[in-house]
Each structure stands twice: as structure tokens, then as C-alpha cells.
Structure 1
Amino acid sequence: MPADFSLSPLIAATAQWLVRAYPPGGGALDTALAEAQARQAVTVAAWLRYPTAMDAALVAVAGPGGSGRLDGVTGAEATGSGEEGAAAWRTWVDEVVASWAAVLLGGPELAAAAIDALTGSAHTAGAPVEFRRLADPDERDRRAAALLRHPDLLAPIADLHRDRLLDRLAAGPVPLTG
């Protein structure tokens, strides 16, 4: 089983949390573009945080912790608008991954460094992986995700675990084992 397979619920929930906390301003296209950017940032952050298949398996068993603290920091509504199972997906939000993704969305140079750190890792081995919307967003991407990429708005979340991300990036490439 690829390491990212067991991270899929964590990646989906954390990206969803980011898009709900920092919603796009336009219609369906803006929503899709913002979701793509959030998903790419969360994927990079999750792959850095859980570099091996064993790491991914452990978080799949133990659970990532949920969105409680993030909701408190942003003032986000902890329950959905009456949707069935609204609280269930929030249990799969990973606070550290959301924080790291916020750092990457707000800082293109760190996003590039994070993507470089994944080169040759177990997560990127075997299939081509592209993070263009994260690393090199065009004007349409930036407009669609104006809140999601605004460093000042992201700061309360990004600052939670920024130092841990910087330490991780300073440690060098993600190991190939997995």
C-alpha cells in the first residue's frame, strides 16, 4: 500500500478545513481552484510530516487529532450547517499539517523548499507528482484563493507549528524508505 493512501482521509479533511476557514470569493471555478491549492499544500505538508508508510499507518490508526484548536484559533464554526456527519470529518483534520500547509500557501519560497525536500521520497517514487498550483500559481489561482494565500490572515494558523516545519526542512530530504 502506498504511504499516501492511508493519508487520504487526513489530506481530504485538512484541505476541506482550510477551504472552509479561508473560503474562495467567487463561484464554482474559484472554489475548485482554491480546493486544488489547499489540497496540494496539505499533501506536501502531510508527506513531510508522515514521510514513511509506517508513519502514515500509525496516524491512520491513532487519528490525527481533529480541528478543535484550529477552530478556536480562527473562530471557525465547529459544526456544519446541519449536514449529516459534520463533526466526523473534522476528527481527521491534522493541526500540524494544517499549520504547515498555511505556511506553504503564504510563502512561495518555503513551498518550493518543501516540494524539493520530497524529491525522491517514498511518496513521490513511482509516479510523477506535480504541485504547480501551490508552487507557481497563476493570476487566476491567486484571485480564487485570495484569503487562502493571504499571509496575514494565515498567520494565526501558520504560526502554531511554523518552527517545526522550518526544522523539518532544515533536516534535508525526506527519506526514501517507506
Structure 2
Amino acid sequence: MSVDFSLSPLIAATARWLTRAYPAGGGVLDRAVAEAQARQAVTVAAWLRYPTTMDAALVAVAGPGGSERLDGVTGADTAGRAGEDGEPWRSWVDEVVVSWAAALLGEPGLAAAATEALAGSPHTAGAPVEFRRLLDPGEHERRAAALLRHPDLLAPVADLHRDQLLDRLAAGPALTG
């Protein structure tokens, strides 16, 4: 099984959580542009958090933990949503990945360091990978994701696991494991 395939549900749910917690202003195009930025940040964070095929397979089997604590931190009203008829995707949200993605969205220098740390990882082998919307957003992209990129608004979530992200980035070559 491909590393990226096994992380797909986690990446999709985590990006969805971010775009719901920090919604785009404007219309459909702004929402799509904000979603693309969230997905790129979440992809980088997930690849850093689960650097090997084994790591990705383990989280696919065990599950990432869900959004309950994050919902509490952001004040989201989710009572009864994650149940059988509610929003089951929330169980695939990874708190650490959300926190790391929030840190990357709020700090461009940290995002650059994170993408550089992925060089040589199994995730970046093969086809070229680019994260332009994360690393170099244009004016429209910044405007569409104003809440999603606002460091003060992201701080409560980003600070939850920022130290772990910094430790992972300091590990450098160990990521290619």
C-alpha cells in the first residue's frame, strides 16, 4: 500500500476540520483556494508526523484520535455530531497534524523548513511535489484564507504541539527513516 494512500482519509478529514474551524470569506472560489492551502499544510504536517510506510500503516489501522479536544479548544459546538448519523469524518482528524498544519499556515519560515525537511522522504520520492500555495501564496490566496493564516487565531491550536514539530524539524535526516 502506498504511503500517501493510507494517509488520504486522515489528510482529507484534517483539512476539512481546519477549513471549518477557520472558514474562508467570500464565495465558492475563496473556499476552494483556502481548502487547497489547508490541504497542502496538512499534507506536509502528516508526512512529517508519519514519515515511513509503517507509520502511515499503523495510523491507518489504529486511527488518529479525532477532533474532540480541538473542537473544545476552538469552541466548536459539535455535540452529537460524531455519532453514527453525525459527522464520522471527525474521527479521522489528527490533533497533532492539525496543530502542526496550523503552525505552518501561520509561520511562513516554519512552513519552508518543514517542506525542506521532507527532502528524501518516501513521500517525496517519484513525482515532483510542490507546495506553492502554502509557501508562496498570492494576494488572492492570502485574502481567501485570512482566518486560516492569522497567527493570533491559529495560536491556541498551533501551540498544542508546536514543540513536537520543532523537535521533528531539528531531527532532520532522521525523517527519511
Name the SS for the 2:13 alignment partner.
helix
Structure-2 residue corresponding to 1:2: 2
Name the SS for the 2:92 alignment partner.
coil
Q: Residue 108 in 1 paired to residue 120 in 2?
A: no
Percent of pairs identical after alignment? 79
| TM-aligned CA distance change 1:153 to 1:50, over 3 Å | same
C-alpha distance in 1 between matches for 2:56 and 2:156:
26
- Structure with the larger helix share: 2
Q: Residue 165 in 1 paired to residue 165 in 2?
A: yes
Q: Residue 90 in 1 paired to residue 101 in 2?
A: no
Count, aligned residues: 175
C-alpha distance in 2 between matches for 1:79 and 1:43:
28
C-alpha distance in 2 between matches for 1:16 and 1:54:
25
| TM-aligned CA distance change 1:117 to 1:33, over 3 Å | same
Contact 1:122 1:175 in 2 (8 A): no
Contact 1:116 1:173 in 2 (8 A): no
Segments of 5+ residues of structure 1 without an aligned counterpart are none
Shift of 1:79: 5.6
Pairing 1:70-85 to 2, within 5 Å after superposition: 70-78=70-78, 85=85
CA RMSD after TM alignment: 1.5
Runs of 4 or more above 3 Å deviation: 173-177
TM-score, structure 2 normalization = 0.95
C-alpha distance in 1 between matches for 2:85 and 2:162:
31
TM-score, structure 1 normalization = 0.94
Shift of 1:85: 4.5
Name the SS for the 2:122 alignment partner.
coil
